Every structure is written in C-alpha cells, then in structure tokens.
C-alpha cells in the first residue's frame, strides 16, 4: 500500500496507548506495518504516548514523520491507560476503530477477525481471551475475580476475559465520545452503550518485550474504578451492612435490658460490652463513610470539569476533511492543548 496519506479519512484506525514501551516498539511497528498493508481499506495507527520517560515518543515521532499512516499524540504526562485510550479514540478518524495494547499481547493479526465480525454488522466487537499465556498466577486469579465481580455488579454486562482490545464502529464510538465523565472505565462504557455487541476469541500471548505497567496498586485502582463507576452496589452494601450492624446492636441492647429487668444486671454493668458495641458501630460507620467517600470523591472529580488530558504535541495529523468533525483532532500542533476541554473550547 502506498505510504501517502489517504485523501479520504481512513476506514480503519488503530489506537495504541504507549507507556515506556521502547523495548517492544520495533517489533510492534513491524507487525503493524504488515497489518496496515494487509487491510482491505486505508488504515491509520494512532499512538498515544502516555508520558513515557524512555525513548518511546521519539521513536514513534520518527515513524509518524516517515510514514503518513502513523500518528503520535503525546500527552503532557502519564494520565493512565484508560485516559490514553480515550485520547486516542478522540483523535481517530476511521469508520471502525480498534483499541489494542502495545505489547503485542493483543496480536495485530486478530484485527482481521474483528473486522470480519464488524462487516457482519456488529457495532462493538470484543476480543475475548480464550487463554492467557505467560502471566503470573496472581494476575490470573485477581483478573478472574475482577471480571466476576464487575460482571455480577455492573448494570450492563461487561464481557469476561476481555480487556480493552476491541473494535468499535463509528456510531458506537460517537456515543462513547459524547460521554462526559472524567472517570473512564473504557470497557464498562462500551458495554453500557449497547448496540450489537459481538466477540471473537483469541489466545493471549505473553508480552513480546518489556514489563507490565500494571502494578498491584494500579490493578486495584482499575478494579475500584470499574466497580464504583458502573455499579451502586457498594453503596447498597453499605446500607445493608449498616442495617445489619444496627440490628445486632439493637438486639444486644434488648438482651441487656431484658437481663437487667429479670434481676441480672451483670451485662448492663460490664463496660467491656459497651466497648464491643461502640467499636463495632464505629467500625461499621467508618467503613460506610469510606464507601460514600469513594463516590463523593468521584463527584468532586466530575464537578471540577478539568480536561481529561493535555496534549503536548500531535504529529502526523492534517486538518480533517469537513466531513469528519473530531473535536480533538487537530493539525500538527506545537502548543499544548487540553483534550476534550469542551467546557472551555466549544
């Protein structure tokens, strides 16, 4: 396929978030070259550099300048995987957009299968992992627990064993882009959108090179995010937990009064029982305040209405044709600009 930028918007966009992936980028670029060459219509690859501290952004910028199918969106710092994906989706112009990890755990070849499903008429096609090789037992167990929990609690079922590797039709993508929340749990949002959702399965290989960027802390963060932003079950849990604890305290109080009335004041006098009750209630209270705090924190983040991310530099973009109105898609820009800062920019 020619290296010239297609005059028409590309049919396919690949969105790849990158955070310190210099070890894997050479192999990734080779595989994406092959993929873009083999597609049945023009495609673009949008790399979102999520504040890498290594040479990732430099290498990709070189590629974006040499090959017009490649673009770089460089964020001003590390905003996290889910925001990086959102930034890439904001910049994608394709009719079908594929989100994939940089580490080749989402093999580019599977994109053909995703496209085949899309052509059958599916609007969101998830790539489900039939197997996961080369990942620690701990990761597998915690991931399984996470998928079960979010699957059971979320309002719209989030596909099990599917990360963010998926194809999204423009129609569904426009709905996603119109969702204003700061708190992005991308896979949950795509499940929530609805439309025709399909899946393909694939065997997930180990990382091609480099190390996982998801530390335990980040995994817990993602899980908490997924739970709190897609379910109010934790709030209900607090309510029920509070009700149970208060009920027990009331029951215990009645027992104490009953014993006292029947001439046995030993329980009523014992201060240890008081401490048990106070500590129990105090603990339950703190737990519930904590749960509410999680939600209040989210409300706080939403009302600040900050832009989701800041683009330091975008390379490889030209002004979009009038037919494609992407708010964040700009010409090559030298100056930083807040992403999807609709409140300020529209």
Residues 222-251, mask of contacts with Mg ion (x by CB under 5 A) = ------------------------------
- Specify the residue, 149 or 248, whose C-beta has the smaller distance to ligand UDP: 149
86 CB-side CA count, 13 A: 29
DSSP 95: S
Its sign, for the CA torsion 65, 70, 75, 79, is: negative
155 within 8 A of 191, measured Cβ to Cβ: no
- Of 222, 211, 230, the residue nearest 142 (C-alpha): 222
How far is the C-alpha of 312 from the C-alpha of 57, rounded, in Å?
11
Q: 3-class SS at 67?
A: coil
43 within 8 A of 111, measured Cβ to Cβ: no
- Specify the residue, 217 or 344, whose C-beta has the smaller distance to ligand UDP: 217
List all residues 6 or more positions away from 77 whose beta carbon is below 8 Å from its beta carbon: 51, 310
In degrees rounded to 5, what are phi and psi of residue 54? -100, -160
Instruction: Tell me which residues touch ligand UDP (CB under 6 A).
Output: 17-19, 21, 50, 78, 80-81, 84, 101-103, 105, 212-214
- Specify the residue, 105 or 225, whose C-beta has the smaller distance to Mg ion: 105
> Which of ligand UDP, Mg ion, none interacts with 213 (beta carbon under 5 to 8 A by kind)?
ligand UDP
For the bound state, the minimum distance from the C-beta of residue 163 to Mg ion, rounded and expressed in Å, comes to 8
For the bound state, the minimum distance from the C-beta of residue 207 to Mg ion, rounded and expressed in Å, comes to 5
- Specify the residue, 205 or 327, whose C-beta has the smaller distance to Mg ion: 205
151 within 8 A of 187, measured Cβ to Cβ: no
Binding flag, residue 103, Mg ion (CB under 5 A): yes
> Which of ligand UDP, Mg ion, none interacts with 169 (beta carbon under 5 to 8 A by kind)?
none
For the bound state, the minimum distance from the C-beta of residue 50 to ligand UDP, rounded and expressed in Å, comes to 4
Report DSSP letters for 288-341, one per residue: HHHHHHHHHHHHHHHHH---S-EEEEEES--PPPTT---TT--S-BSS-EETT-
Of the candidate residues 11, 56, 105, 225, the single one contacting Mg ion (CB under 5 A):
105
Stretch that binds Mg ion, among 101-109, 161-169, 224-232, 338-346 (CB under 5 A): 101-109
- Specify the residue, 140 or 275, whose C-beta has the smaller distance to Mg ion: 140
> Which of ligand UDP, Mg ion, none interacts with 159 (beta carbon under 5 to 8 A by kind)?
none
Distances (CA, A) of 227 to 40, 157, 184, 320: 39, 12, 12, 37
For the bound state, the minimum distance from the C-beta of residue 81 to ligand UDP, rounded and expressed in Å, comes to 4
- Specify the residue, 212 or 289, whose C-beta has the smaller distance to ligand UDP: 212
Give the tokens for residue 283. Answer: 């603990």
For the bound state, the minimum distance from the C-beta of residue 103 to ligand UDP, rounded and expressed in Å, comes to 4
> Which of Mg ion, ligand UDP, none interacts with 21 (beta carbon under 5 to 8 A by kind)?
ligand UDP
Binding flag, residue 20, Mg ion (CB under 5 A): no
Q: Which residues bind Mg ion (CB under 5 A)?
A: 101, 103, 105
């Amino acid at each position: 396929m020619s290296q010239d930028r297609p005059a028409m918007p590309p049919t396919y966009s690949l969105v790849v978030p990158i955070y310190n992936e210099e070890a894997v980028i050479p192999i990734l670029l080779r595989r994406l070259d092959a993929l873009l060459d083999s597609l049945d219509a023009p495609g673009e690859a949008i790399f979102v550099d999520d504040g890498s501290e290594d040479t990732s952004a430099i290498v990709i910028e070189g590629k974006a300048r040499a090959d017009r199918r490649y673009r770089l969106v460089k964020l001003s710092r590390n905003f996290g995987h889910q925001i990086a994906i959102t930034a890439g989706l904001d910049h994608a112009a394709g009719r079908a957009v594929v989100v994939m990890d940089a580490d080749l755990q989402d093999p580019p070849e599977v994109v053909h299968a995703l496209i085949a499903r899309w052509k059958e008429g599916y609007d969101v096609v998830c790539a489900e992992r039939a197997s996961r090789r080369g990942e620690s037992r701990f990761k597998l167990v915690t991931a399984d627990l996470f998928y079960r929990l979010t699957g059971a609690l979320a309002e719209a079922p989030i596909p099990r064993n599917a990360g963010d590797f998926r194809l999204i039709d423009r129609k569904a993508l426009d709905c996603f882009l119109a969702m204003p929340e700061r708190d992005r749990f991308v896979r949950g949002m795509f499940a929530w959108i609805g439309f025709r959702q399909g899946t393909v399965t694939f065997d997930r290989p180990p990382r091609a090179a480099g190390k996982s960027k998801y530390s335990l802390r980040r995994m817990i963060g993602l899980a908490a995010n997924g739970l709190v932003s897609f379910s109010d079950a934790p709030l209900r849990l607090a309510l029920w937990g509070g009700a149970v604890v208060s009920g027990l305290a009331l029951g215990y109080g009645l027992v104490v009064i009953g014993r006292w009335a029947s001439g046995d004041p030993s329980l009523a006098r014992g201060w240890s029982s008081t401490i048990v009750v106070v500590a129990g209630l105090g603990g339950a209270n703190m737990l519930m305040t904590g749960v509410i705090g999680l939600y209040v924190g989210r409300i706080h983040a939403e009302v600040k209405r900050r832009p989701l991310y800041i683009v330091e530099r975008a390379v490889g973009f030209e002004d979009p044709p009038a037919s494609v109105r992407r708010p964040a898609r700009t010409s090559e820009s030298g100056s930083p600009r807040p992403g999807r800062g609709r409140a300020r920019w529209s």
